[in-house]
Each structure stands twice: as C-alpha cells, then as structure tokens.
C-alpha cells in the first residue's frame, strides 16, 4: 500500500511534504513545503507554456508527404493497389511513400500529380515546411517555395508602403492642424461703431462732433443746438457691435443693414485652436505613432517566419 501511494505521489505534480528535521519548527517546514510546491507549479507551467508557444510557431499544417498522399487517395476512394496501378508503380513502393519511408523523385512526383489530376500548388499547400524542404530537389516544390517567398516579399512591401503612407498622412494632418490649413486657427474680432446712413461718409462717427463745432463756428447753429445734436447722435446713432469670426475678412469690411450699412474694423486677432484642428492633430499623431509600430510588428513576424523556415531547411 505504501509503494502504491508513493507511486501515485511520484507521478503527481505536487510532491510530499519534506521530512521534518530535528529542531525544525512546524512553521519553517510549512514554509519550505509551500515554496517547494510553488516552484513545481511554476516549472510545470513554464514548460507547458514553452510547448504551447513552440506549437503556435509551427506552420499552419503539420502534414507530411505520406499523410497528404494517403489523404488524397482516401478522398478519391482508391485502394493502394488501384492507386499504385494508376500511377504505374508497385504497391510496396506506394506503401513506403505513404509511410514516409521513401521520398519521390522529380519524375515520380510529376506522375503522382498527373494521376491525381490536381495542380502541384494545391498538393504542396498542405505540406509543412520541413517536408517542403526535404522535397526541394523537385522543380515544382522549388517553384512553389519561391512563390511563397515572393508573396511574403510582396506582403512585406505592402506593409512598408502602407505604413509609410500612413505616417506621411499623419504628419501632414498634424502640420495642417498646426498651421490651420484645413480649419482656421486664428479668431478675428471686428467692431462696428454704428449704422452709416445713406449719403454719410465712412468716418461719420469720428467726425460728427467736429462737424457740429464747425457749424457753430460759422454761426449756423447755436451752442445749445450743437450740444443737443451731438447728444442725440451719441444716443440714437452710435450702436457698437462686436463680431468674432474664424474668417479673415481683411482690416475693414461693410455689411448692409436696415437703415444703411455698417463698417466693421479689425480690432483684434488671436490664435485659438479650433476643435476640428484638435481632433485632426490627435488623429495625425495616432497615425504617425501606429505606422512605425506596424512596421516593427510585421518585421518581428517575418523574422520569426524566417527562423522557422531556416530551422525546417536544416
């Protein structure tokens, strides 16, 4: 019974608690047991994760030549004698091929593909990298592997060009948002002193008081009339209006209103980043940051693929 229990504990992840040495306290023993147990769990988890990562790094399929050949023969409902006769080989040789005890020559591979009635690329697409490497003496296999490499280069170039375009677009968006190319960043403040009646000059609000003084000097009006006219003008005609605009309308512009027109003069100009430019700047920064990140990730993936291919070629 003790042996059986020992065998069970020996195959288990958790070991038995270490024996208590003379003079050791129970707390020390419990602490050592816990450390021992956690170290075993960590070691087991690390080994399991390593195996999982290695399995992920393997190509999409692990099918070898013999398994692939047998799979297609089974799908076509052919027995070994029938398939061997169709190819023109002995059944024993076909059995060696399906059990990976022999490799086909270039001529034999061509006969197999011709007998199956399928393109070489379809047959080779489900083979793993190691099997493809062992069959690289066959021209069709070499062409297939070169085609795979060419497609990888094409995809890599597409990623590089796309990332470069995204980065350039991101920097352009940031520059445009900062300089106000797409949306203005300057806010203009215009001030109008009042409505200019038809027939009056543009400087009526600045010169009206002087005009009345001149009329009084010419004895056209009295002092009381001058003061009354000036007060009426100040109270009825002067209506200050301030307009803020993102549009640059120059130093002066006119606008028709009831009773005449208003003359707006530029009073202030200040830099205020608009909400549209703020959003555009954030989007540009995001593109400019993500583009190099995509290149780094794509480069790491290609490096991992090259390592897998190099390992399978050995």
* pLDDT, tens digit, 9 for 90 and up, residues 263-299: 999 999 988 888 888 898 889 888 888 888 877 777 7
pLDDT at 145: 84
Which range has the worst mean pLDDT, 5-9, 90-94, 129-133, 269-273?
5-9
Instruction: Write the CA distances from 229 to 212, 215, 239, 251, integer angstroms.
Output: 8, 11, 16, 31
Helices (H), 180-274: 204-217, 223-236
Is the pLDDT score of 243 beyond 90?
Answer: yes
Average pLDDT over residues 234-262: 90
pLDDT digits (tens, 9 = 90+) for 169-178: 888 888 888 8
Mean pLDDT confidence for 183-187: 86
Mean pLDDT of 217-244: 89
- Report in angstroms the alpha-carbon separations of 170 from 186, 234, 279, 283: 22, 55, 12, 7
Output b/e per residue, 178-206; b: 16+ Cβ within 10 A. Answer: eeeeebbbebbebebbbbbeeeeeeebbe
pLDDT at 192: 93
| pLDDT-derived band at 262, boundaries 50, 70, 90 | very high
What's the pLDDT band for 242 if we cut at 50, 70, 90? very high
Q: What angle do CA 103, 109, 112 make, to 5 degrees?
A: 115
pLDDT for residue 309:
55
pLDDT at residue 189 tops 90 = yes
Q: pLDDT exceeding 90 applies to what percent of the chain?
A: 10
- Indicate whether this model's pTM tops 0.85: no
Average pLDDT score, the chain:
77
Q: Which of 15-19, 257-261, 280-284 is the least confident region?
A: 15-19
């Amino acid at each position: 019974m003790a042996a059986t229990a020992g065998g069970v504990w020996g195959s288990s992840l958790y070991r038995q608690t270490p024996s208590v040495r003379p003079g050791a306290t129970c707390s020390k023993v419990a602490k050592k047991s816990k450390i021992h147990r956690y170290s075993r769990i960590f070691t087991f988890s690390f080994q399991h994760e390593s195996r999982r990562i290695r399995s992920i790094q393997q190509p999409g399929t692990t099918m070898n030549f013999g398994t692939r050949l047998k799979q297609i023969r089974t799908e076509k409902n052919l027995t070994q004698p029938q398939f061997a006769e169709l190819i023109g080989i002995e059944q024993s040789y076909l059995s060696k091929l399906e059990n990976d005890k022999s490799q086909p020559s270039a001529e034999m591979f061509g006969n197999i593909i011709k007998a199956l009635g399928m393109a070489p690329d379809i047959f080779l697409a489900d083979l793993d990298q190691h099997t493809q490497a062992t069959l690289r003496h066959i021209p069709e296999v070499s062409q297939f592997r070169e085609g795979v490499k060419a497609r990888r280069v094409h995809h890599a170039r597409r990623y590089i060009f796309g990332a470069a375009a995204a980065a350039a677009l991101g920097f352009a968006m940031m520059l445009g948002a900062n300089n106000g190319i797409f949306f203005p960043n300057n806010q203009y403040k215009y001030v109008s002193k009042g409505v200019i009646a038809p027939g009056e000059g543009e400087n009526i609000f600045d010169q009206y008081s002087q005009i009345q003084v001149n009329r009084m000097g010419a004895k056209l009006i009295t002092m009381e009339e001058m003061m009354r006219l000036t007060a009426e003008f100040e109270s009825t005609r002067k209506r200050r209006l301030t307009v803020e605009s993102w549009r640059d309308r120059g130093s002066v512009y006119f606008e028709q209103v009831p009773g005449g027109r208003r003359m707006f003069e530029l009073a202030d100009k200040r830099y205020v980043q608009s909400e549209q430019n703020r959003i555009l700047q954030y989007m540009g920064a995001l593109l400019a940051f993500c583009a190099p990140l995509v290149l780094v990730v794509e480069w790491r993936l290609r490096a991992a693929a090259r390592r897998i291919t190099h390992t399978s070629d050995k």
